[in-house]
Amino acid sequence: LLDTNKDGKLDFSEFKTAWFYWLRQVLDCKSALIVVDMQNDFIDGSLAVRHCPAHEDGTDIIPTINHLLDAVSFDAVVYTADWHPANHCSFVDNVKLREIHDTSKIKADSAQVMDTVVFASPEKFEQKLWPTHCVQDSKGAELHPDLKVVDDHILIRKGLDPDVDSYSAFWDNMKKSATPLVSELAKRHITDVYICGIATDVCVEFTSLDAIEHGFRTVLIEDACCGVSEEGIQGTKTKLKKAGAVLVQSAEVPDLV
Ligand code: VGL
Ligand code: ZN
């Protein structure tokens, strides 16, 4: 299991790193709240989530998130924001801007929201299509005005590359590049992340799975999330539990002082 170094001695350095990491998680946990994509377009704009079984729309979860921010002393608060250029590959209206691969079931002139297209350039990639949303510097891309924004927060923008989508706040969908999120959390010695926001079955799910992969203890605050579809949300819950996340209600989040 352990490698020997060049003198033939056992190399404990990796073991030591892992052990210190876990010790710190147990003895000195620090928590961050990650507020995912609470932007106008997802709440009452072009891609508003309205089929979530638990909520009328995204405005329903704003008081819950604001209450968490007031009542719980998180060591860091992260707001993420979808931040697309106007020619982004995920917009149904932009299908005509790119070459479509032969294996794609849809053509540029028949592309619909929620269809999946296969583009041929700049490389072959599959893309789910959405209405135009969260265009950089637009009103729709702003955080909702009723959402509490705490001082000293971390803002993570994602989806800036026109040719790759980015559901997770850690990585783009093809893992071509990382956002600064993991280094911002590491800098603050964060061990536990609590995740809320929109959409449960898209960006919240991808962000949570990447948080687990990075080794954070990951808690999804169910009633502080709003999703696209009922089946999608069920699928997310199953996947996250299997991956090792803990699912809680906002009232169960302890004050972390
Ligand atoms: C999202 C669809 C497209 C999200 C972002 O924030 O969940 N969904 N882009
Ligand atoms: Zn998007």
Query: Which residue matches tokens 């061990």?
Result: 191
DSSP string of 57-79? SGGGGHHHHHHHHHHS--SEEEE
What is the rounded distance in angstroms from the CA atom of residue 191 to the CA atom of residue 124? Answer: 37
Q: Which atom of ligand 1 is nearest to the CA of 165?
A: 9
- Which tokens sit at 94? 């932009």
What is the rounded distance in angstroms from the CA atom of residue 64 to the CA atom of residue 38? Answer: 12
Ligand at minimal distance from the CA of 129 is: 1
Contact 51, 198 (CB under 8 A): no
The residue to mutate among 89, 114, 130, having the most atoms of ligand 1 within 8 angstroms of its beta carbon, is 130
- Write out pLDDT tens, residues 147-176: 999 999 999 999 999 999 999 999 999 999
CA distances from 254 to 16, 31, 221, 226, 247 (A): 31, 11, 12, 22, 14
Question: Residues with beta carbon inside 6 Å of ligand 1?
Answer: 37, 42, 82, 90, 130, 198-199, 202-203
Contact 120, 172 (CB under 8 A): no
Please provide residue 110's backbone torsions phi and psi, each rounded to the nearest 5 degrees.
-115, 10
Instruction: Give residues with Cβ within 8 angstroms of 147, minimum separation 6.
Output: 35, 38, 62, 65, 66
- Which tokens sit at 125? 């990639």
Q: Which atom of ligand 1 is nearest to the CA of 204?
A: 7
- Write out pLDDT tens, residues 15-52: 887 787 778 777 888 999 999 999 999 999 999 998 77
What is the rounded distance in angstroms from the CA atom of residue 195 to the CA atom of residue 96? Answer: 36
What is the rounded distance in angstroms from the CA atom of residue 202 to the CA atom of residue 166? Answer: 10
ipTM of the complex: 0.97
CB atoms within 10 A of CB 257: 5
What is the rounded distance in angstroms from the CA atom of residue 187 to the CA atom of residue 91? Answer: 35
Residue 14: per-residue pLDDT: 76
Ligand at minimal distance from the CA of 228 is: 1
Q: What is the pTM of this model?
A: 0.90
Confidence band, pLDDT 50/70/90 cuts, at residue 91? very high
Confidence band, pLDDT 50/70/90 cuts, at residue 256? low
